[in-house]
Amino acid sequence: MRRFDLQRMGLGLAAPVLALVVALLLSSVALIISRNSPLTTFKSMLDYGVDPGTIVQTLNRSTTYYLSGLAVAIGFRMNLFNIGVDGQYRIAAFFAAVVGGWLVLPGPLLMIVVVLVAVVVGAIWAGIAAVLKATRGVSEVISTIMLNVIGGGIVAYLLDPGRLGTLIGSQQVSTRPMPADAYLPGIPLPGGDVYGFVVVAILCGAAYWVLLSRTRFGFDLRATGLSEPAAVASGVSVKRMVVRTMLLSGGVAGLVGMPLLLGESHAYASDFPAGYGFSGIAIALLGRNHPIGIAIGALLWSFLEQSAQILDLEGVPKEIVTIMQGVTVLSVVIAYELVRRFSLAQEQRRVGAELRAAAPAEEAS
Amino acid sequence: MTSTAPAPARGEAAGGTAVELRGITKRFPGVVANSDIDISVRVGTVHALVGENGAGKSTLMKILYGMQKPDEGTIAVDGRQVSFSSPGDAIDAGIGMVHQHFMLADNLTVLENVVLGAEPGGFGRLDTGAARRRIKELSDAYGLDVRPDRLVEDLGVGDRQRVEILKVLYRGARILILDEPTAVLVPQEVEELFGNLRGLKAEGITILFISHKLDEVLSVADEITVIRRGTTVATVRPADVTARRLAELMVGGELPSPETRESTVRADQVVLSIEGLSVRSPDGRAVLDDISLRIRAGEVLGIAGVEGNGQAELVEAIMGLRPATGRVRLGDRDLTGLDTRHRREAGIGFIPEDRHRQGLLLEAPLWENRILGHQTQAPNVSGPWIDRGGARADTERIVRDYDVRTPGIDVPASALSGGNQQKLIIGREMSGDPVLLLAAHPTRGVDVGAQAQIWDALRAARADGLAVLLISADLDELIGLSDTIEVILRGRLVGTADPRTVTPEELGSAMTGAGGDTGPGADPDLDDPLPGTAGPGLTGTGTTGTGSPSSDGRDDLDGRGES
């Protein structure tokens, strides 16, 4: 039994290592084709990446990515593809910012209300897709993608000086800024402050793990993801699970904009970043939907993005990082699938062999 | 086994041996699917391969079609030894397979389906003219009556099957494997198919016909090879054998001994009572029509029927997996309108017919599979939390009590052999003291040892007062285990049989709706391949399947009705 666990762990490590090696090799090929030296490029990225200032930037971005990855992973565990995290977090952050700017409350209380509003709005926005799927059988892939666009449109419409926005400076439209006592303090590091929201993100990761592996709800969710017919036969109401899971995923998606809103921007302006939801999909894939895996994925993803800032100065096109990210996701997905199949076959052989050894007479009959 | 022998006097008829399998053995983890299979098939004959579900027929066909490699043994086609590593190799050698489930694209025409993957022409151009001519030739030569330009979605089941056959012929097959081709057909269509097969045979095509329906096999085959428990036990000619004899060969004469069956029925204690249960298919057809039955404590009620006559729907309706009208009561409790989880909590255990699809999470460890279906019940959970300790301990108990052969409870369910997976499921469904067990094909595809253990477990539970609804395609299992047998046909209960007196042949006749008729095997005319006197259920409604009805019509079904 022990030997077998060690082997399993070895296999578990084999996949990410294999994937990273392949990703590095393929990225090197891309660099060589674009007439750059892979070694110097990687070295300058590494040097810049470990600079204290860059580390803080990396951690901050990872916090956002981690939440986004979690939101996507919740759906993935049930074979639900919530492509709509992007729209969900933007519309959630927008309304949360509006409430934060208008409501008069003591700072800490206001922060809690703002976060709750974000969770609720994110859940509602995802809930539309959930209800469509449960009642009408509309694929959540299609509906969430469309809801991304609709959400963006709604925000753009409302973020107008005549409506919920105010003009800041000459060009920028923003929601009314939140009061200073509702600024979430950061965690000081040598290179600057890390978003205080990182604590919430870590708690979310822990809650995700507990929910999925220790609760009945999590069991039903995973069972549905592993085999829907088996889950149905076991008494799971798949429609109900679709709705609940999407609400949960959307709720977490609502948190994606919070590190930035509470820790840095304190208002939703027209330059509030988009696209974190799509990074979340890649990160959930990278992290194999595991809370620690997603954390590693988020760190890697934002490390690549942050350390790439130096490349322009080195005369290397920054887009090389996009290639590296894509290649990493692909090789991780492929490596894990290979290892999964290998270990499944291995396991079957092993069980067969052990049983044959145990009962040779049985076989002969 | 009196007639254990490879095909007698090979080459006595015209032509030599089309396919020769010698000593084929295939092992899967924990089970031997095929061992020492010997078959030789003569050119231009219909050779039937019969055996119970799980006897190893489909594994053997997968080997012959190149989908799996045998661990031992040789395959020879037309006298030359071959080794297939993919279906492509088999196709090149002239072997074609018509699958039980059609593999046709509905939104394409017949022609497009036929050429799919073997498109004539080149440089991206599809030479439909050549393809159309070739399809026409083949269709005429073999009397298939396939019209190339119809959309597949407009075709009936029988027509689709002919398209499948033509597709295989188009690729140059001279040896056809038909995997349970009649499972999806109504009797008239079966007749037509048999007519087509005779036409193909006359043109020198060799046909391997897999089935477990004895009457059909006896009416269409030239030779019959019986497979039991993964090995060939006999090759016989239809003229020399009765259905009874074939059935015995299939089950090995080890009919479960009736003397173990002193009744444990508690007459005053009705556990399940169903009234007027009906299920409609999405197109409005009644797949289950006004079923009423009762099962008492300690009683096993067997449902006999040809697959697809509503058994699966009956079980699913009782489980709440399928919308139905009518009443279902469990003891004093009305289950109508309850969802599956509540029905399980009320005390229903469920052994699904397809354990991989409905019974297990293949990639999850055994102890998580123990929780499946009992997510709300002790010892698996406490409140909203999973009780890992409780679930694991109880899994150990099931592994011990039900003799599940596994190195531990952390291995994924997929690592176990079919029989051990099934024992795990049965152990799981028996825990939590159910009052009713729905057992659909509980020993399908499991090895002998596991089968006996499963039977023992069912008998023991029945003695403890469990009510069991047993669905099985294995008539001897039904007769051996049941206290009462109800026959289901086209969604209706059409008769009751007493398992103490009924024979498998009588049951078989009743299942096909031919009543009274005592077994097709006794009929001396059967050697004559023409139908009309063929077995029960096959006598269609006046149409004999030879030749092709409807020469012009757009709609085959109409043509058939009028002819």
Please report where in the chains the tokens 């990074």 appear, as a residue: A279
Confidence label for B122 from pLDDT (cuts 50, 70 and 90): low
**What values do phi and psi take at B474, rounded to 5?**
-90, 105
DSSP state of B237: -
CA distance A219 to chain B (A): 8
ipTM of the complex as predicted = 0.86
| Residues in A lying within 8 Å of B, measured between beta carbons | 1, 213-220, 222-223, 226-227, 229-237, 344, 347-352, 354-356, 358-359, 362-363, 365
CA distance A140 to chain B (A): 24
Residue B261 has pLDDT above 80, yes or no: no
**What values do phi and psi take at B204, rounded to 5?**
90, 10
Question: Do B358 and A233 make contact, defined as CB atoms within 8 angstroms?
Answer: yes
Cα dihedral value B320, B322, B327, B331, nearest 10:
-20
Rounded to whole angstroms, the Cα distance separating B384 from B381 reads 7
Residue B246 has pLDDT above 60, yes or no: yes
pTM of the full predicted structure? 0.74
Task: Using CA coordinates, name the residue in chain A closest to B409.
Answer: A1
Mutation site for B-interface testing, chosen from A3, A227, A288 by largest number of B Cβ within 10 Å: A227
Task: Number of A to B CB contacts under 8 A, please give it.
Answer: 114
Asked whether the beta carbons of B460 and B433 are under 8 A apart, the reply is no
Q: How far is CA A70 from the centre of its chain?
A: 5
Confidence label for B420 from pLDDT (cuts 50, 70 and 90): confident
B448–chain A Cβ distance below 8 A for any pair = yes
Q: What is the pLDDT of residue B121?
A: 65
Using a CB-CB cut-off of 8 Å, the residues of chain A touching B408 are: 1
Closest alpha carbon to B355 in A344, A229, A341: A229
Q: Report the interhelical angle of A291-307 vs A38-49 (nearest 10°).
A: 110
Q: What is the pLDDT of residue A356?
A: 63
B399–chain A Cβ distance below 8 A for any pair = no
Using a CB-CB cut-off of 8 Å, the residues of chain A touching B371 are: 219
Confidence label for B547 from pLDDT (cuts 50, 70 and 90): very low
CA distance B373 to chain A (A): 4
Lowest mean pLDDT of A127-131, B149-153, B246-250, B324-328, name the range: B246-250
CA distance A337 to chain B (A): 13
DSSP state of B412: B
Question: Do B386 and A216 make contact, defined as CB atoms within 8 angstroms?
Answer: yes
Closest alpha carbon to A99 in A121, A82, A69: A121
Length of chain B: 563
- Return the ∠ at Cα B255 (arms to B251 and B260), rounded to 5°: 155
Rounded to whole angstroms, the Cα distance separating B161 from B540 reads 18
* Amino acid symbol at B52: E
Question: Do A347 and B412 make contact, defined as CB atoms within 8 angstroms?
Answer: yes
Q: Across the interface, which of B29, B342, B364 has its CB nearest the CB of A226?
A: B364
CA distances from A185 to A16, A259, B452, B476 (A): 35, 11, 69, 76
Please name the residues in contact with B78: beta carbons below 8 A apart, sequence gap of 6 or more. B16, B17, B18, B43, B94
Question: Do B415 and A348 make contact, defined as CB atoms within 8 angstroms?
Answer: yes
* Amino acid symbol at B59: T
3-state SS, B342-407, equals HHHHCCEEEECCCHHHHHCCCCCEHHHHHHCCCCCCCCCEECCEECHHHHHHHHHHHHHHCCCCCC
CA distance A345 to chain B (A): 8
CA distance B176 to chain A (A): 32
Task: Using CA coordinates, name the residue in chain A closest to B231.
Answer: A365
Using a CB-CB cut-off of 8 Å, the residues of chain A touching B386 are: 213-216, 218-219
Per-residue pLDDT tens digits for B465-505: 999 999 987 777 888 899 999 999 889 999 898 888 887 77
Q: Across the interface, which of A215, A232, A347 has its CB nearest the CB of B384?
A: A215
As a whole number, the mean pLDDT across chain B is 80
Q: Across the interface, which of A214, A232, A359 has its CB nearest the CB of B385?
A: A214
Q: Across the interface, which of A213, A223, A229 has its CB nearest the CB of B357?
A: A229
Helix/strand/coil percent split, chain B, to 5: 35, 25, 40
The residue with greater pLDDT, A132 or B191, is A132
B522–chain A Cβ distance below 8 A for any pair = no
Q: Across the interface, which of A227, A235, A356 has its CB nearest the CB of B375?
A: A235
What DSSP assignment string belongs to A297-321?
HHHHHHHHHHHGGGHHHHT--TTHH
Alpha helices by DSSP H, B445-524: 448-463, 475-481, 504-511
Using a CB-CB cut-off of 8 Å, the residues of chain A touching B432 are: none
Question: Do B375 and A362 make contact, defined as CB atoms within 8 angstroms?
Answer: no
B412–chain A Cβ distance below 8 A for any pair = yes
Rounded to whole angstroms, the Cα distance separating B403 from B397 reads 10
In tens digits, chain A (365 residues) has pLDDT values of: 445 556 666 777 777 788 888 888 998 998 898 888 889 989 999 999 999 999 999 999 999 999 999 999 999 999 999 999 999 999 999 999 999 999 999 989 999 999 999 999 999 999 999 999 999 999 999 999 999 999 999 999 999 888 888 888 778 899 999 999 999 999 999 989 999 999 999 999 999 999 999 999 999 999 999 999 999 999 999 999 999 999 999 999 999 999 999 999 999 998 999 999 999 999 999 888 999 999 999 999 999 999 888 888 888 888 888 888 899 888 888 888 888 888 877 777 777 677 666 654 443 33
Task: Using CA coordinates, name the residue in chain B closest to A214.
Answer: B386
Q: What is the pLDDT of residue B253?
A: 56
Using a CB-CB cut-off of 8 Å, the residues of chain B touching A356 are: 30
